[in-house]
Amino acid sequence: MKIFKILFVAFLAISFSGFSQTPTDFLSKEFHKSRRDALRSKMPANSVSVVFANPLRNRANDVDFVFHQDPNFYYLTGYREPNGVLVLFSENQTDENGQSYNEILYVQKRDARAEQWNGKRLGIEGAKNELGFKMAFNSEEFAASKINFKSFDRLFIEKFNDDYRNSARDNAEVYDLVLAFKEKADYNPKNFLSPMKKQIYELVKSTPIENSANVAQIIGRALVYDPSLKNDEDLMKFKDATSNDLKKELKQKISLKLDAKTNIDITFLSRNLATLREVKTKEELVLLTKAVRISAIGQAEVMKAMKPHMSETELQGIHEFVYKKYGAEYEGYPSIVGAGNNGCILHYIENSKTKVGNELVLMDLGAEYRGYTADVTRTIPANGKFSKEQKAIYNLVFKGQEEGIKGYLIGESMGKPNLIARKIANEGLFKLGIIKSVDEKHPYFPHGTSHHIGLDVHDPGNYGNFEENMVVTMEPGIYIPEGSNCDKKWWGIGVRIEDDILVTKNGPVNLSAEAPRTVEEIEKMMAKKSVLNDFVLPDLDK
């Protein structure tokens, strides 16, 4: 009887685990709660933050793009569906039943028909039990909620990009939620300033008239980034003004705009979430390390498998197969696989060359594992051996990377590794005769070397000094496209080496070290046999 009972329990356990064979290593609800508490502790008294989930975006006809959550929203909630809103209060609020709460999550309504087509929704119960919210409602209740956003001293939101559409499939899409919010909060973009406008107005206000030529120049440059500044007549007149009297008059008018009357602030959330997100917790580091290791192992597998007859897409597929084999749900950004001159296009994602031939192949790919994305690049010779020229450029980039990584130390400036790698590149390019002097302005090192990674491949941060548990790329690159002003033998060589470095008390730790990096290590790995050598498919042209 007892053995029967044990067998029955075992049977049930197996059946249930069979049903729930989905990943269980996502961030815990305690993690997300701790992030909300951390943000709340930065909010001033009588303030409220409102964060929107991402919408679904349409691909064509009745097919949508694969949904991906907004990273800030995910960080704060753990909710992985579209069309939600988080409302976070600085102090406890009390509802009409006397219940106290300091946060509300609005989620997609459970809907049997929609779930039959597109998968299970968490709904209110899930938001409470699985995400740990005491107070949760259906998103369609947001518009009628009693929250009086106007009554708070400060109302924090992120800048609306207005890039969602109204599919009219239901009445609580992000489109509807934002519309309802704008009405409830008396949102009028004319009443508050974008971060760029605010900075410029402050500059106009604080700069003496005799130095206003500098300000005019800065306004000119700012126009490139934010063409909407053109709509500010006073600012444009100030930029072009020649008479000091006119400048004085305009300066006064512009200074007054800094006192615009609204409680809405669109800079607080992005600034403070960047401060939180740039330093990773232990839980985040487990997932991020996994994403990076998966990506590095993908690079090593491709090194073994690469043959000159292969196409860029095929190589991309091998990396991505390794990601999926490890259960990574997405690529963190569109994969970049570029042979020869294609490797000189920094974000080349066409990956359409049908034979990589005897060229260098630049491969910049990152697995996304439970939301966290790696960013790893290797550049390798398709035929397994670096040519003399390829090796010369490769080793320059490598040396810059090695020396740069040594600067990933707590308290050091995050800008320094970039300068170190550039200096080494300039000296080397000069020695090779590619540039005429070490100070020559040249186009061969066109990007910076260091950015945070995390829930975004370009994770937000303040870019001050390195702190413990930051994870930052080190990615120098030298690119010499066809037609460059140097000996033809260098043309079509593009090299980027990118690793993901964890800053620790004991110095830098290269999380992507499993991908061979030196010329010798790469050539050795490429000489190994790949299981894919025997993976031969029918030739469709025969």
List residues binding ligand GLY (CB under 6 A).
333, 364, 375, 457, 475, 498
- Residue 500 interacting entry, from Mn ion, ligand GLY, none, C-beta within 5 to 8 Å by type: none
Q: State in angstroms the smallest separation of the CB of 448 from ligand GLY.
A: 9
Q: State in angstroms the smallest separation of the CB of 302 from ligand GLY.
A: 16
* # binding residues, Mn ion (CB under 5 A): 5
Q: State in angstroms the smallest separation of the CB of 288 from ligand GLY.
A: 15
Q: State in angstroms the smallest separation of the CB of 365 from ligand GLY.
A: 8
Nearest to 178 by CA among 122, 124, 106, 128: 106
DSSP state letter for 452? B
* Helix%, strand%, coil% for the chain, nearest 5: 45, 15, 40
Helix (H, G, I), strand (E, B) or coil at 118: helix
Q: State in angstroms the smallest separation of the CB of 497 from Mn ion.
A: 10
Site for Mn ion in 446-505 (CB under 5 A): 473, 475, 498
> 140 or 364: whose CB is closer to ligand GLY?
364
Secondary structure, 3-state, 295-336: HHHHHHHHHHHCCCCCCHHHHHHHHHHHHHHCCCCEECCCCE
- Residue 152 interacting entry, from Mn ion, ligand GLY, none, C-beta within 5 to 8 Å by type: none
d(CA 318, CA 75): 30
CA angle 477, 478, 479 (to 5 degrees): 120
Residues 6+ apart with CB under 8 A from 389: 489, 490, 493
> 158 or 500: whose CB is closer to ligand GLY?
500
CA angle 342, 344, 350 (to 5 degrees): 35
- Residue 81 interacting entry, from ligand GLY, Mn ion, none, C-beta within 5 to 8 Å by type: none
- Residue 265 interacting entry, from Mn ion, ligand GLY, none, C-beta within 5 to 8 Å by type: none
- Residue 333 interacting entry, from ligand GLY, Mn ion, none, C-beta within 5 to 8 Å by type: ligand GLY
> 139 or 316: whose CB is closer to ligand GLY?
316
Helix (H, G, I), strand (E, B) or coil at 91: strand
Under rule CB under 5 A, residue 331 binds Mn ion: no
Under rule CB under 5 A, residue 364 binds Mn ion: yes
Q: Which residue is nearest to ligand GLY (CB)?
A: 364
Give the C-alpha distances (Å, rounded to integers) separating 366 from 143, 306, 436.
39, 18, 36
Q: State in angstroms the smallest separation of the CB of 516 from Mn ion.
A: 17
Helix (H, G, I), strand (E, B) or coil at 474: strand
Under rule CB under 5 A, residue 375 binds Mn ion: yes
Under rule CB under 5 A, residue 77 binds Mn ion: no
What the block records as the tokens of 297 is 């192992």
Positions that interact with Mn ion (CB under 5 A): 364, 375, 473, 475, 498
